[in-house]
Amino acid sequence: MRRELGKAVRKRFEARLKREAPQFLPATTQEVPAGCRGFVWPIAPDLSAFLLLVISRENRFTVEGALSRDGRFPGQSLPISPEDCMVNLNVHGICRFRIAGLWRPRGIDPWWEVIPRPSSSELDDRLDRIVRGEDEYSSIEIEKALQRVEPLVDDAVQRTVSVVVPFFARVARSLGVSMRDDGSPPSAGSEGGGLR
């Protein structure tokens, strides 16, 4: 992704996630792949949930989720279907998935497109600009893309809060952690996130 677009996506994502899902803290682990941004929610001493903002060179981004029993992001693990997460978590202590798998049919892997894929005529125009020694994208295309960042990132974070956090909470509850779907403690006066 172009530098200015990637920077805008990262900045917006980090700010929105901090506001909407403050339980996720920046992950400083070396298992987070280079060029990605990782966030960790230490649900219980033996269960951590992760979000990974993945930015592609193709001017798009996606978000992955992961669970780990040892507190480390499963960087060497390939994403699987969320439906297979519990089995993988129980057998291997880890699972990693693309969050869109929680609301899209299996096998469909949508990304948030900051610059939509070009038509063949648009691709020809870009190639002509490159041959002439000009920038691949016009300043108008970049400005339009920057305007797309906010609603795209907001959609990704909204889906994280409304779909992914409840998924993590359901998995945690199935492992004996007491919490609501939003990740909060079961009652206002109790300690949350601990083992029952």
DSSP designation for 34: T
Structurally, the chain folds into a number of domains equal to 1
Q: Is residue 183 part of a domain?
A: no
Is residue 8 in a domain? Answer: yes
Q: What is the rounded distance in angstroms from the CA atom of residue 33 to the CA atom of residue 21?
A: 22
Instruction: Please tell me the distance from the alpha carbon of residue 62 to that of residue 188, in angstroms, as a whole number.
Output: 34
42 close to 48: Cβ distance less than 8 angstroms: yes
Tens digit of each residue's pLDDT (9 = 90 or more) over 145-174 = 899 999 999 999 999 999 999 999 999 998
Q: How far apart are CA 60 and CA 159, in angstroms?
A: 17
Give the whole-angstrom CA distance, residue 150 versus residue 8: 8
Q: What is the Cα 115 distance to its own chain's centre?
A: 18
Beta strand pairing call for 47-56 and 37-44 = antiparallel
Residue 185 lies in a domain: no
* Residue 6 pLDDT > 80: yes
* C-beta of residue 22 within 8 angstroms of C-beta of residue 38: no
- pLDDT in the model for residue 186: 64
Q: Is residue 146 part of a domain?
A: yes
Q: What is the pTM assigned to this prediction?
A: 0.83
Q: Which domain does 13 fall in, by range? A: 3-174
Residue 188 lies in a domain: no
> Above 50 in pLDDT, residue 97?
yes
Note whether residue 17 is domain-resident.
yes
**Mean pLDDT along residues 117-134:** 73
Instruction: Reply yes or no on whether the pLDDT at 138 is more than 60.
Output: yes
Q: What is the dihedral of CA 2, 38, 95, 181, to 10 degrees?
A: -110
Domain assignment present for residue 179? The answer is: no
